[in-house]
Structure 1
Amino acid sequence: MIDKATLDRAVSAGILDAAQRTALLDLAASAGPSVALGPTSDRLSVDDQMRLVGGGNDIFVTVGIVLLFSGALFALQAVLPPDSMLLAALLAAGSWVVAEIVTRQKRMRLSSTLLALVFSAAVLTLLIDFVGQQFSLPGAINAFSLLALRDDALPIGLILAGGLIAASAVYFMRFKVPVLAAIVAIAATGLAFLAAVLVYYEQMINGSIAAPAPDQLAQVVSNALSIPLVCGFVVFAVAVFLDLHDRERQTVWSDCAFWLHVVSAPLLVHPLFILATGQDVLSGRIEPGMSASVMLGLMIAGFVLVALAIDRRSLLAPTLAYFGSVGIYYLVNSAANTTGIPPFALILLTIGAIVILFGAGWQRIRRLIIRPLLPTSLLERLPPIKA
């Protein structure tokens, strides 16, 4: 990027004349937000670019899409039989047709995101209807009926998750809508969790491991959280890879990374929160002694540093929201605490201060903390730090 001061010096040195300087400024202004002239410190962070809404017309078209598909849904439900697979197929096809104009030609961000979600929901409904016709599903879903499905569980999971992933991939190749990255990550995580549960159940059936006693269920459920934790790290690693592939955040892959960070944050935070606070996963009770509060504070600091390093508030925002909501829940349900200020109250105060402070000066804080903390070789691979 060349700022205005550099252009002024170029005019003074005779490299450019005044007319050429004006023409360059006009060209930069017409190029949109991806090209900007001016002091670097005055430009927005690459993570601050409006990725979800393209403007007032985008919102206007989004309202039209909601009305269009709501009307189509009610009309088709009145005309088609209740169990017809044609309903979901028509909605999926309709969202594709509308996307050819709204997404393919006009590149409206919010409208395109909504259409991609409509398409994904229609495809998932279509797959569920297909599974219902191909497999003998129980009328009531409970623990015993699910156990009866164990032989068909993996094929059902592969059809639902695999079909959704395949459909999302085809839609993405056509329209390049970033939110589909989140759909794929969620479907893959669900399939991985199902596979792990089936392996554990088969080991119990074969006698490889003993069935847990009632007092061991909490430990079993706690161990099961390792599945979303591992999936969260995988999704996070893919998002970071995409970020490093596009340090300036100029391509659709960076927008995909944004959604992957949104998905990875709760997958990472919830298991780590339980490990740090000693929460009972069955009852939800927390024993927030000083050690738990210290661990929680260290977790927050770790997430803050990682978010600053990769320049992603999309990772930090759901993390702080989770900590804050759980902390508020604990405070409401611990009115009988007579030890003074609960430790989580201090956590909430810290989170509130972090949100306000970072919202006001994200790039400055990033420059002050990350630049002296990390070696130059690593900084050169991370998103650039604004001067």
Structure 2
Amino acid sequence: MISHETLERAVAGGVITSEQRDTLLTMDRSRFHAEEEDEANPEENLRLIGGGNDLFVTVGIVLLSAGFYFMLSTLLAGRTLWIAALAAAFAWAIAEIVTRQHRMKLSSTVLSLAFMAATTVVLWLLIQERYPIRQPESLWQVLALRQTAAPAGYLLFGGIIAAAAVYFWRFRVPILAGVVAVSATLLAFLQTAMILYDGIAAGTVAAPRIEDVPDLLRASLYMPLVCGLVVFGIAVALDLHDRERRTSWSDCAFWLHVVSAPMLVHPLFILATGQDVAFGQAEPDESATVMLTLLIIGFVYVALAIDRRSLLVPTLAYFGSLGIYYLVNSTANSTGIPPFALILLVIGALIITFGAGWQHIRRLIVRPTLPTSVLDRLPPLKVRSYSR
């Protein structure tokens, strides 16, 4: 910001005229008042769409990519591997202009997803050529798949992670953090299944019986829960690294929160409410409803503390969808009030209330309940909202 004295010296030295000085001062005062108005009426600063031109270019990219794909399908009919490889190269080339030079947000996201989709197809086709996997016709054939399923899975998920990492290194597209998190989670599931299989084959782990299936499925919920906690921890670390939400790392944290929320919510819901994993029972009793309400309160508090609505939205959507499922499919007495009706009312009220005054509620709840040493490391409690 140029001081008033500097402007006066510029007028005295003939650098600018007095009219130009007055114009600059008027522009500066207008900017100051605009910032004050923004502070009084904060809006969530989403960095997912860069504006009308970004949306316009995105439409062009979709049309151009579709045309390129249909052209390749005609010229290279039946050569799916080459089509997918050229589609990935095409998306990279367009990203060199749209993402690397102009930093268009929505367009960059679409291009990155197109690149990852084409790369996944390439990896899958290469795996089918090297590790042919046919549909098993017996239990023994399923057991025999271990020798091909393990290296094929490692190649697929490892290749996706490597491709996403290289693309992110080049273009810094935040959604790829979510792609890496999902692929790493699936890779962890594969590795756990291989360890269990090897244990059964070696005789160190007892093979499960039919009656053990519900307990086995319930125990398997710990895997997504652990993965969700790891992804959530990385997202929080990125949030603490960029408390003001000014860099692309906070956008990466946004997508990591979106990925971690379902992995945390579903296992906690099943484990806390005692639902039937094997048969998908979705109706909690009164005690389970209390536990479910406590879960919602816990997720709401954590979302407020770290200033992340992206963690809260999937959570409420999950609980709300379960409530709708129960209300539609239950055969409860029509004169009684289903337990999930209360949950739906709470979720709807929470969404409206938090949407109308997120930062105000955050100050009222978080500030009195956390020590200053913790608050100083969390996203700042102020009027302007940076959360997503």
Over 3 Å counting, the alpha-carbon distance change for 1:28 and 1:97 in structure 2 is farther
1:42 match: 40
Cα offset, 1:42, TM superposition: 2.0
Cα offset, 1:173, TM superposition: 1.1
Cα offset, 1:196, TM superposition: 0.5
Q: How many residues align?
A: 365
Matched, 1:168 2:171: no
Letter in 1 for 2:356: A
Kept in 2, the 8 Å contact 1:168–1:184? The answer is yes
Identity, in percent, stands at: 58
Alignment of 1:1-387 (within 5 A): 22=26, 24-25=28-29, 37-38=35-36, 41-42=39-40, 44=42, 48-139=44-135, 145-337=141-333, 340-387=336-383
Over 3 Å counting, the alpha-carbon distance change for 1:26 and 1:145 in structure 2 is farther
Q: TM-score, normalised by structure 2?
A: 0.88
1:33 match: none
Cα offset, 1:139, TM superposition: 4.6
Cα offset, 1:75, TM superposition: 2.2
Could you report, residue by residue, the CA deviation over 1:172-204 in whole angstroms, capped at 9, with x for unpaired residues? 111110000000000000000010111112111
Cα offset, 1:252, TM superposition: 0.3
User: Is the partner of 1:85 in helix, strand or coil?
Assistant: helix
Cα offset, 1:22, TM superposition: 4.1
Structure 2: where are the runs of 5+ without partners?
4-20, 384-388
Q: Which has the higher contact order (CA 8 A, sep 6+)?
A: 2
1:10 match: none
Letter in 2 for 1:64: G
Over 3 Å counting, the alpha-carbon distance change for 1:26 and 1:170 in structure 2 is farther
Equivalent-residue separation in structure 1 for 2:364 and 2:304 (angstroms): 10
Over 3 Å counting, the alpha-carbon distance change for 1:249 and 1:102 in structure 2 is same
Structure 1: where are the runs of 5+ without partners?
8-16, 30-35
Over 3 Å counting, the alpha-carbon distance change for 1:283 and 1:114 in structure 2 is same
Q: CA RMSD in A?
A: 2.3
Letter in 2 for 1:238: I
Bigger mean CA offset, 127-136 vs 76-85: 76-85
Kept in 2, the 8 Å contact 1:41–1:386? The answer is no
Kept in 2, the 8 Å contact 1:25–1:37? The answer is no
Could you report, residue by residue, the CA deviation over 1:66-112 in whole angstroms, capped at 9, with x for unpaired residues? 11112222222222242441111101100011111111111111110
Over 3 Å counting, the alpha-carbon distance change for 1:86 and 1:193 in structure 2 is same
Letter in 2 for 1:333: N
Equivalent-residue separation in structure 2 for 1:40 and 1:96 (angstroms): 38
Equivalent-residue separation in structure 2 for 1:98 and 1:250 (angstroms): 26
Over 3 Å counting, the alpha-carbon distance change for 1:219 and 1:339 in structure 2 is farther
Equivalent-residue separation in structure 2 for 1:237 and 1:146 (angstroms): 36
Letter in 2 for 1:186: V
Over 3 Å counting, the alpha-carbon distance change for 1:327 and 1:208 in structure 2 is same
Equivalent-residue separation in structure 2 for 1:92 and 1:315 (angstroms): 31
Cα offset, 1:137, TM superposition: 1.4
Equivalent-residue separation in structure 1 for 2:137 and 2:81 (angstroms): 22
Kept in 2, the 8 Å contact 1:358–1:365? The answer is yes
Kept in 1, the 8 Å contact 2:119–2:160? The answer is yes
User: Is the partner of 1:283 in helix, strand or coil?
Assistant: coil
Q: TM-score, normalised by structure 1?
A: 0.89
